[in-house]
Amino acid sequence: QALRNLDLVRCPGGRMESNQGLRSECSLCQLNYLSRFEGRTQIMDMLM
């Protein structure tokens, strides 16, 4: 999915995963840190 475009993401839960090992517990968690990346517009558009 679009999430693969991210090199590194950090979940409020405290886990850091690479794009290959990304595991998210909830979509809200994703939205919180996805907004910090340059490609947020493309990703947010796809999620919404």
More confident residue, 1 or 30: 30
What pLDDT is stored for residue 15 in this prediction? 47
Amino acid in the structure at residue 36: R
* pTM given for the model: 0.16
What pLDDT is stored for residue 39 in this prediction? 53
> 34: pLDDT confidence band, cut at 50, 70 and 90?
low
Residues 25-29 have a mean pLDDT of 51
**DSSP-assigned states of every residue in 1-45:** -GGGG-SEEE-TTS-EEEGGG---S-HHHHHHHHTTSTTHHHHHH
> 25: pLDDT confidence band, cut at 50, 70 and 90?
very low
**Over 50: is that where the pLDDT of 7 sits?**
no
